[in-house]
Structure 1
Amino acid sequence: MNTPTLETERLILRKFTENDLKAMYLIYSDKEVNRFLPWFPVKSMEEMWKLFEERYMAQYTRPQAYAYAVCLKKDHIPVGYIHVDVEEPYDFGYGLRKEFWHQGIMTEAAIAVTEQLKKDGIPYITATHDRNNPRSGGVMKRIGMEYQYSYEEQWRPKDILVTFRMYQLNFDGQEDRVCKKYWDGSEVHFIEADI
């Protein structure tokens, strides 16, 4: 089953639906929330609909997909999202409306999703964050991910040079495995000693 619904103490994680477009717009249109993400904030409901179709409806047609709306149990309205690619490098990404920052919501949601991934046989996950956004790295650390290396990338479509930190969490016991995709794909890569 793709994108199985998950429940935590405070949250419901489920598929996005057409009824969520207004809530999604609040997440994807906010400049601060999207500051460290590769895409520009959406500017209209028309753009939001297109993103919903491309990023979520397309995912939900696949046999295996992890594209979650992060909802508070009290009203089931999405306040954030988590997605995980089901192909290498099993990229793990997330976003959260800023009025819900610093409450442990994303960590709580991410723990639930990683438990599901492990149960479903996903071997590992990777996640990257802009070095200028260490709070995102804090979520990665709190769910057990470990820093592996840093690399530079010219980010599209924003066309800015970003230094990323790559984290990884192995589920299948291969503790020495390190995904080298980003390392190999960047001319500038290095290991920071003070992470």
Structure 2
Amino acid sequence: MNTPVLKTKRLILRKFTKKDIQALFLILKDEEANQFLPWYPLKSLEEAKNFYEERYAAKYAQPQAYAYAVCLKEDDFPIGYIKVDLEEPHDFGYGLRKEFWHRGIATEAGKAVVEQVKKDGLAYITATHDKNNPRSGNVMKKLGMKYCYSYEEQWQPKDFPVIFRMYQLNFDGNTDFVCQKYWNESEKHFIEA
């Protein structure tokens, strides 16, 4: 099973490979695109190679992984990434090079991944976004995710406080279930009106 290739109208979602190090570097080096991501922008191809080994090659060695390169069909060159963690709380995340923003690509890729994890029997997914990045929340809403609560975290490795909004989408019919992981880990948590 591992990581099935997914295709949409405009996109191919597939595994990153060693041949994609340059593309991964282009995705992860941009300061604006990485402002809301939990790592610093990459500075070199060597850092991109290490990122690939730690974040992708290790995941692909597992029996199942949802860690995709987002590629345009016309050239199969990665312009972003999208993932769902198998570990609880099944965190869903994505990022795109900024020249591909505002085209519905994250939503299109997200719908394909959501369908796949639902088909594979995951009970739910969660996603969080910095409250200063509402565009990310808009993608979550377009995928059918519902806002549940907000919490403050001393964000690592950048080490500053961030208020995150947590969204969730349940697939198992249990509409009342809300993952409490972030709520319980944070002393400052609340529901925004």
TM-score by length of 1: 0.98
Identity %: 70
In structure 2, what is the equivalent of residue 124 of structure 1? 124
For residue 4 of structure 2, what is the amino acid of its counterpart?
A: P
Q: Distance in 1 between matches of 2:153 and 2:3?
A: 30
Alignment size in residue pairs: 193
Q: Distance in 2 between matches of 1:84 and 1:49?
A: 21
CA deviation after TM superposition for structure 1 residue 31, in Å: 0.4
Which ranges in structure 2 are unaligned for 5 or more consecutive residues?
A: none
**What is the root-mean-square deviation in Å for CA atoms of aligned residues?**
0.4
Q: Distance in 2 between matches of 1:146 and 1:115?
A: 16
CA deviation after TM superposition for structure 1 residue 83, in Å: 1.0
Query: What SS class does the counterpart of residue 126 from structure 1 fall into?
Result: strand
Which ranges in structure 1 are unaligned for 5 or more consecutive residues?
A: none
Query: What SS class does the counterpart of residue 95 from structure 2 fall into?
Result: strand
For residue 5 of structure 2, what is the amino acid of its counterpart?
A: T
CA deviation after TM superposition for structure 1 residue 189, in Å: 0.2
Deviations 1:33-59 (CA, angstroms, capped at 9, x unpaired): 100111101111111111000000000
Q: Distance in 2 between matches of 1:46 and 1:77?
A: 19
Deviations 1:87-141 (CA, angstroms, capped at 9, x unpaired): 1100000000000000000100000000000000011000000000000000000
In structure 2, what is the equivalent of residue 11 of structure 1? 11
In structure 2, what is the equivalent of residue 24 of structure 1? 24
Deviations 1:126-180 (CA, angstroms, capped at 9, x unpaired): 0000000000000000000000000000001100100000000001111100000
In structure 2, what is the equivalent of residue 153 of structure 1? 153
Query: What SS class does the counterpart of residue 48 from structure 2 fall into?
Result: helix
For residue 31 of structure 1, what is the amino acid of its counterpart?
A: E
In structure 1, what is the equivalent of residue 106 of structure 2? 106
For residue 76 of structure 1, what is the amino acid of its counterpart?
A: D
Residue correspondence of structure 1 range 25-174 to structure 2 within 5 A: 25-174=25-174
